[in-house]
Structures are given as structure tokens and as C-alpha cells.
Amino acid sequence: MRDPERTRASILGAAFDEIYHRGFHDTSVNEIVGKTTLTKGAFFHYFSTKNDLGYAIADEVLKEMVLERWIRPLAAYKNPVQGIISRFRKIIESTPDEHMALGCPLNNLTQEMSSVDPVFREKLRAVMQLWISETEKYLTKAREQGYLKPDVNPRQVAEFVVMVEEGAFAMVKNLRDKKVYWSLYGSLKGYLESISQKPTEQLSA
Amino acid sequence: MRDPERTRASILGAAFDEIYHRGFHDTSVNEIVGKTTLTKGAFFHYFSTKNDLGYAIADEVLKEMVLERWIRPLAAYKNPVQGIISRFRKIIESTPDEHMALGCPLNNLTQEMSSVDPVFREKLRAVMQLWISETEKYLTKAREQGYLKPDVNPRQVAEFVVMVEEGAFAMVKNLRDKKVYWSLYGSLKGYLESISQKPTEQLSA
């Protein structure tokens, strides 16, 4: 007997991968089903349309990816600002060249679907809002703990940081040059240090 | 009798507009021809394929747009750093809401075409390289004239500035919230001031 939750997760995983490589439009339900051990009938038991599957990818896969890659690791740092800098560095180091050419899954899906489908647009917007709000929480904490200058606006910095995290992937996808990542990393680090209150090296956990 | 250069420019203008609104794939040659006073036969005299037309948009329309919007106006500023800040502000102010929902034409075309067609990818990459290199020239000048701290790397700052200029449009397209532009503008301004050598208000032309 199948475990429905596990089956659902395996469909989402296969679908995410196909869509990330080929785009939402160019990926068919048949191709997604072919990547699983299910029949097409069983697939439709889980997702009644391809769009429903796309929405679930935004609601479940992309939100989880954002939290797992960018947010949860910040809890391990005494100084959250240092955490944001370190996370960006580690993500650059661990991104395979293939993914660099493919870009950021959230940005790709937004570019492809947000002007076509308003439901998709809302769901993709919610992913980015979550990313910003969770980053903001850590920046608010950093300011409270004295790591950021008192006049810093955590929301404004969170919007800028997430824009850089996203925009860096888009630019590297365009230029196909990993060195640009490190250049952008250096600038983000310099920016965050310029709004920090004490030298970061004294503050890292 | 027709003026061939003007006809060519009118095709490029009509095609750019259609593609900006609907994407490259979803725009047909018939629709572009329909926006001009030409026959389809006359159209093919200028561009033998739809791809050739797309390449000409990158080489001619997008490069010209980058120079016209972001680069040439910088010549009017005594302090180029102040020029970059002012240009960003003016472009936010003058961007119609419709274009905010559509995003940046270069970013859209790159997202759509760079993984599909290597010639397109090279041409779109060249547009971004031009944007970075021209920004770098002004930043080098700013450093020579003492507006930037001596340890500033103009290439690194240029890559960051262009990434912010592009990334801001992508984020606003996703969030559909013009306030975010001003938040990002404030952060870019703060960043550029943090690497400047004297208070910018004393230096503006």
C-alpha cells in the first residue's frame, strides 16, 4: 500500500525538477508522470490539473526551499548579519555550475507565469514575501542586539538583501561567469558592514 | 519611395513593443507585420527569420535603451556617483505602472531565450556587459576625481549597481508594489554613499 503523503511529495519533487530544467509551459503532465512510478490516473488523484500542481510547487516546494536555504541556517549565528553574509557565501560555494546556468527557480517561474496567471502570481509573491519577512525578523533581532546601527530600517534592508540574493542568480545566469557571484558577494558584505555597528569579526558566533 | 533605414527602425520598434508585452515565443511575424504598414514579403526583405529580428532587437534596440536610459545622462553630473543615484530615482519616477508589471525588457528576454538559443544568449550577454563596462568607466572617473574611496574597485561596484538596477525591476514585477522601488533606491543610495569619500551633498553638480 502506498503512503499518500510520500507519493504526493515524490510527484512534487519530480515535477519541480522537470519544470526547473524546462519551464512550466514546456513540461507536460505525461513527462512528470514518466518520472514517477505512478499511472496518469493515480497522478490526477493528487493534482486535478497541471496548474494545481504548479500552485503546490509554489506553496510547498519553493517556500520550503527558501526557508531551508536562506532562513533556518541563520538561527545558528550569534550575529544574524554575519549569518546572512555567511549563508550567501555558502550558497555560492555549493551551487553546481548547472544550476548557475538555470538560475533561481522562483525567479524563473515568476518570469514565466506571473503575467499569465493571477493565482500563480499571488502564490509566487507569497514566497517572496515570506523570504523578506523572515529575513526582516533576523535583522530586527540584530538591531535589538546592537549589531546594526539604531537608525537602520530592518524591512528596507530585508528587501534589499533578498533582491541581491535573487538578482545575483539572475545576473550570473545571464553572464555565465561565476566570478561575478564573488564580486556581488563582496559588495553585499561591504553594504551590510557599512550599516553594522561593531566590526563583524568581533561578533561572529 | 521608402527610406530603408526608417522602415527597418519602424519594424524593430513594433517588434520590440509586441515582444515586450507578450514574450518572444508568443509573438508571431504576422502580428509584427500587422503593426507596420508593410507586407509580409517586404518584412522578410529586412529580416529573413524571426530570430534575426530578435538578434537585431538585442544588438540595436536594447543596447540603445541601456545607453539612453542609464549611461549617457551620467555625463551631465560633476560627480558620477551622484549621477547614478539621480538616474535611478528619475527612472523610478518616470516608469509607468504598466511597465512595472511587465518588468525589464532585457531581463525578460534573457529569462525566455538565453537557455534556448546560444546566439541570443551571447547577444543579451553583450548588452549587459556594455551596461556594466560603461557604468565602470564613470565609476573609474569618480574614483580618479576623489569622489570614491581609493580602495574602491570600479568594476566590482559597476557589477553591483547594474545588478541592483536590474534586480529592482524584477522584484517590483513580482511584488507589484511601487513602494519597494523606493526602499531599494534608499539602500543603493546608502551603499554608494558608504563608499564615497566626501558627503555627496557637497559634491553634486
Q: Give the model confidence (pLDDT) of B12-29 as tens digits.
A: 999 999 999 988 988 999
Backbone φ and ψ of A196, nearest 5°? -85, 160
Q: What would the pLDDT profile of B75-102 be if each residue is shown by its tens digit? A: 999 999 999 999 999 999 999 888 888 8
Nearest residue on chain A to B157, alpha-carbon basis? A187
* pLDDT at residue B204 greater than cutoff 60: no
Contacts of B129 in chain A (CB under 8 A): 175
Distance from CA of B44 to the nearest CA of A (A): 29
Q: Would you state the pLDDT for residue B124? A: 95
Structure confidence at residue B192 as a pLDDT band (50, 70, 90): very high
* pLDDT at residue A200 greater than cutoff 60: no
- B163 and A173 within 8 Å at the Cβ level: the answer is no
Number of helices (H) and strands (E) in chain A: give both, helices first: 12, 0
**Rounded percentage of chain B residues whose pLDDT exceeds 90:** 76
Q: Would you state the pLDDT for residue A98? A: 86
Smallest Cβ–Cβ distance between B114 and the set A163, A167, A173 belongs to: A173
Best probe of the B interface among A131, A173, A174, by most B CBs < 10 A, is A174
Q: What would the pLDDT profile of B25-82 be if each residue is shown by its tens digit? A: 889 999 999 999 899 999 999 999 999 999 999 999 999 999 999 999 999 999 999 9
Contacts of B103 in chain A (CB under 8 A): 111
Q: Would you state the pLDDT for residue B67? A: 98
Contacts of B166 in chain A (CB under 8 A): 167, 170-171
Q: Would you state the pLDDT for residue A61? A: 96
- A174 and B114 within 8 Å at the Cβ level: the answer is yes
Q: What is the mean pLDDT of chain A?
A: 92
Q: What is the mean pLDDT of residues B133-140?
A: 98
Distance from CA of B123 to the nearest CA of A (A): 10
Model-level ipTM above the cut of 0.95: no
Contacts of B162 in chain A (CB under 8 A): 171
Q: What domains can you pick out in chain B, each with its CATH number?
A: 1-48 (1.10.10.60), 54-203 (1.10.357.10)
Smallest Cβ–Cβ distance between B159 and the set A112, A163, A184 belongs to: A184
Q: Would you state the pLDDT for residue B101? A: 85
Q: What is the mean pLDDT of residues B152-169?
A: 96
**Kind and range of the H or E element at B137?**
helix B118-144
Q: Would you state the pLDDT for residue B2? A: 67
* pLDDT at residue B162 greater than cutoff 90: yes
Contacts of B190 in chain A (CB under 8 A): 191, 194-195
Q: What would the pLDDT profile of A24-60 be if each residue is shown by its tens digit? A: 988 999 999 999 989 999 999 999 999 999 999 999 9
Q: Would you state the pLDDT for residue B119? A: 95
- B184 and A115 within 8 Å at the Cβ level: the answer is no
Contacts of A163 in chain B (CB under 8 A): 164, 167-168, 170-171, 184
* pLDDT at residue A115 greater than cutoff 70: yes
Nearest residue on chain A to B160, alpha-carbon basis? A184
Contacts of A184 in chain B (CB under 8 A): 159-160, 163
Q: Rounded distance, CA A128 to CA B175, Å?
A: 8
Q: Would you state the pLDDT for residue B103? A: 87
Nearest residue on chain A to B23, alpha-carbon basis? A112
DSSP A18: H
* pLDDT at residue B205 greater than cutoff 80: no
In a 3-state reduction of DSSP, which class is residue B9? helix
Q: Rounded distance, CA B42 to CA A30, Å?
A: 42
Q: Rounded distance, CA B156 to CA A190, Å?
A: 11
Alpha helices by DSSP H, listed for B23-176, are 29-34, 40-46, 50-56, 63-66, 80-94, 97-102, 105-113, 118-144, 154-175
Q: What would the pLDDT profile of A179-192 be if each residue is shown by its tens digit? A: 999 999 999 999 99
- A166 and B164 within 8 Å at the Cβ level: the answer is no
Residues belonging to chain A: 205
The answer to whether B135 faces chain A, any CB pair under 8 Å, is no
Q: What is the mean pLDDT of residues B97-111?
A: 88
Q: What would the pLDDT profile of A60-72 be if each residue is shown by its tens digit? A: 999 999 999 999 9
* pLDDT at residue B199 greater than cutoff 60: no
